[in-house]
Amino acid sequence: MSDVRVELADLSEPHQADAFVEMLDAYARDPMGSGAPLPEEVRDRVVSGLLAHPTSRIWLAWEGDRAIGVLVGYLGFSTFRAMPLLNVHDLAVAREHRGERLGERLLEAAEAHARSLGCCKLTLEVQEHNQRARALYDRFGFGHFAAGVKQNPTAFLEKPL
């Protein structure tokens, strides 16, 4: 593991952009993703979309010149704290490297970046049945969000458009 490095990605660099898309596709194919490859139109648009999105932050874990982990985050703002925050949107590790604490290393890099920007917290959503990810997030110190009351966790909802 000493030869593994975690870096904030520069998606304007073609090798990093390609590695990111491959990691995202591997995540999409996983049962904890969608269980299917990324659609070609998504593969074609995701890098340009992230480059155009000013709050995007991407970290890649590298073994040599091969990406083996990815974390996608977005800067946001906590109105109740009047401070920025970093939302972890995607976190994935190549199947053959799971159990090597790469998820923690990616989270550590994201947390260090968030602290350097004065963020008040990291946020994320996780599928209830994803026990491996839930264990990682518990070890890393994440807990249920509750707006002022610890007994009332908040559900993450979506409305597809």
**What is the reported pTM?**
0.90
For the chain, 161 residues long, the average pLDDT of each consecutive 10-residue run is 88 98 96 92 98 98 96 96 95 94 96 97 87 85 69 66 80
Cβ-contact 67, 23 below 8 angstroms: yes
| Cα(26)–Cα(53) distance, integer angstroms | 23
**The CATH number of domain 4-140, selected from 1.20.1250.20, 2.40.40.20, 3.40.630.30, 3.40.50.1860:** 3.40.630.30
| Cα(94)–Cα(138) distance, integer angstroms | 21
